[in-house]
Amino acid sequence: MIRARFPAALAALALSLPLSLAPALAVQPNEVLKDPALEARARQISEGLRCLVCQNQSIDDSDAPLAKDLRLLVRDRLKEGDSNGQVVDYVVARYGEFVLLRPVFGWHTLLLWLSPLLAVGLGAFGIWRLSRRRAPKAAGLSAAEEAEVEALLKER
């Protein structure tokens, strides 16, 4: 009886695995634009915008109400004729640079971009300093100490 269920369970698992690997998009059918070119642009913009509620997902991947509002905002701006850059600039002006999944490279984000290099550099410097350390040289024995060692060895 158990053997009869195993192939069916294995087949169900094999069929469901590709579905679990597909991207989970939260875009609802009523949000999709009728113009495929505008929809493609909206998806391209949305993949670079962070959900401010989830913070680790794009607005296309998030089910949060704010993410839906942002998706609709992006599509509305595109329908009004804005370019991709104008849409992103509008959203950044409204919500701040935190809304970008990929921060811009500028003077105000220089530390953010350079901190991994600084960490690697400091680690390499620390390893170099540790490798340069030498074990302290053993100081030579004085004549009195050598005589004492000889006396101890003779007693054995």
Instruction: Band the pLDDT of 24: cuts 50, 70, 90.
Output: very low
Position 140 scores a pLDDT of 78
pLDDT at 77: 92
| pTM for the whole structure | 0.57
What residue segments make up the domains of the chain, in order of their start? 22-122
Name which residue leads in pLDDT, 28 or 23.
Answer: 28
Q: Please state, in angstroms and rounded to a whole number, the distance separating the CA atoms of residues 15 and 23.
A: 16
Q: What is the average pLDDT value for the chain, to the nearest integer?
A: 81
55-76: per-residue pLDDT in tens?
A: 788 888 888 888 889 999 999 9
Three-state secondary structure call for residue 62 = coil
Q: What tokens does 130 get?
A: 């540790």
- pLDDT of the residue at 121: 94
Q: Which position has the token pair 């679990």? A: 20
User: With the C-alpha atoms ordered 43, 48, 52, 55, is the resulting torsion angle positive or negative?
Assistant: positive
Q: What pLDDT shows up at residue 56? A: 83
Supply the pLDDT for residue 7.
66
Q: What does CATH list as the number for 22-122?
A: 1.10.8.640
